[in-house]
Amino acid sequence: MNIRRVVQADLPVFFEQQIDPEGNRMSAVGPRQRGDFDAHWTKILADPSIAIRTIEQDGRVAGYVGCFHRDGRLEVMYWLGRAFWGQGIASGALSTFLAEETRRPILARIAKRNPASIRVVEKCGFKRTGEDIFTNRAGESVEEYLYEL
């Protein structure tokens, strides 16, 4: 596994990965449709305060890892295509990213229904600081844990 700068050719792969129903069930955020996805990634790649990296596994685009500001606080984000789950790739990628991205504190917000992602942040040293409820793109209220490193 390695992480590298995002290139335009990665975006169609990210698009397919983020519409995966099982990934959306876990993360509870809901997929972006094409126009929304394109606008979102154009903003991400143009924003110097956002650090974002493509995760590669054996030369294939496995997903992305990065961080962005929400309400003035830095927060991690990551997503892997289903073919890459269960191999330690997210934990390795987040840990590698956090060695590059040294700004702290850095938060994680994870749906309670997403034990794999909870495990990923805990393996990377994040501590649980609280709980919250967010409204996802489908208008559903989702319980989440708050973590901080």
Ligand X SMILES: CC(C)(COP(=O)(O)OP(=O)(O)OC[C@H]1O[C@@H](n2cnc3c(N)ncnc32)[C@H](O)[C@@H]1OP(=O)(O)O)[C@@H](O)C(=O)NCCC(=O)NCCS
Tokens found for residue 117:
């992602």
Q: Which residues in this chain contact ligand X in the complex, by CB under 6 A? A: 23, 26-27, 63, 78-80, 85-91, 110, 114-117, 119-120
Closer residue to ligand X (CB): 43 or 119: 119
Supply the minimum distance, in Å, between the C-beta of residue 132 and ligand X: 13
76, 94 Cβ separation under 8 angstroms: yes
Closer residue to ligand X (CB): 33 or 134: 134
CA distance linking residue 48 with residue 59, whole number of Å: 26
CA distance linking residue 139 with residue 134, whole number of Å: 9
Supply the minimum distance, in Å, between the C-beta of residue 99 and ligand X: 16
77, 18 Cβ separation under 8 angstroms: no
DSSP for residue 102: -
Supply the minimum distance, in Å, between the C-beta of residue 108 and ligand X: 7
Supply the minimum distance, in Å, between the C-beta of residue 110 and ligand X: 4
Closer residue to ligand X (CB): 18 or 48: 18
Closer residue to ligand X (CB): 6 or 26: 26
Is residue 45 exposed (0-12), middle (13-18) or buried (19+ Cβ within 10 Å)? middle
